[in-house]
Amino acid sequence: MPVGDSMTIGSAGEHTWRHRLWRHLCATYEGPVTLVGPRETLYDKAADAPTSLAYADPGFPRRHLAGWGEGWLHMAPLVGDAVRDCRADLLLVSLGLIDLGFYTNAEQTADNVRLFVERARTANPKAGMVLLPVIPNIRAAQDEPFAAQVSLFNELLAKTAADLDEPASPSSWPRSHRPGTSPPTPTTAPTRTRTANTGWRRPSRRPCTRGGGWAGRTGAAPRRGRAAMPCAPCDQVTVRIVVPRGCV
């Protein structure tokens, strides 16, 4: 289940990275792959609301839990029902920029991460989670205090992922990110469930009760969010499995 802000929901006329990722997984891994979630729409900038279904290519499982201008603060109360109703067993989460920019400081945002994970696990004790750091952004480049909050939150997020990691419900943070380098985007984040050397499971073949459907190999709130990130061509997408030190 993709969880995120404007980068994840996307806007009318876009493919979205969710489409690119699904195509890559279908072409790379055996068995069916699907995306689930309680929402399906794109953000319509003209209507200033998430009301569009005008995907550049609608032929993929379009479900998600993402919102324009939403963050950990907004998703923590929603994730339990979403995981339970859609029977999600792996969450790809890219949040934090909105929280730090408009609602909470780094420590408060990290507290909401813990709440999010707790509620997701209450709904599915075996759910795995990949928690992406806040990526480099224009405000951080121009606002030194904000950049410090972003850096602090990313450190707290890594520690939180390690603290909350459990064998039955793994949580990971992309450890390939280092100061001065760009952390992985959703298209380069770890996205498959663990294999033998890391403990990840493949997703079970279960449909979302709110829609979505299966496909085989042939096959966001106030307008405060960052504009949806351009997607790379599918053949340039890289999927990696990375787990914080101490988690395996």
Residue 245 to residue 248: CA distance in whole angstroms:
7
Indicate the pLDDT class of residue 147, thresholds 50, 70 and 90. Answer: very high
Residue 39 to residue 62: CA distance in whole angstroms:
8
Burial label for 242, CB within 10 Å (0-12, 13-18, 19+), is middle
Question: For residue 44, what pLDDT is reported?
Answer: 98
The top-scoring range by mean pLDDT among 158-162, 200-204, 216-220 is: 158-162
Phi and psi of 124, rounded to 5°?
-145, 100
Question: For residue 72, what pLDDT is reported?
Answer: 98
Of 6-20, 54-68, 233-247, the range with the lowest mean pLDDT is 233-247
- For the chain, the average pLDDT equals 77
Mean pLDDT of 210-237: 32
Question: For residue 171, what pLDDT is reported?
Answer: 83
Question: For residue 174, what pLDDT is reported?
Answer: 64
Which pTM does this prediction carry?
0.74
Indicate the pLDDT class of residue 29, thresholds 50, 70 and 90. Answer: confident
The closest alpha carbon to 65, from 91, 39, 95, 86, belongs to 39
Question: For residue 175, what pLDDT is reported?
Answer: 53
Indicate the pLDDT class of residue 183, thresholds 50, 70 and 90. Answer: very low
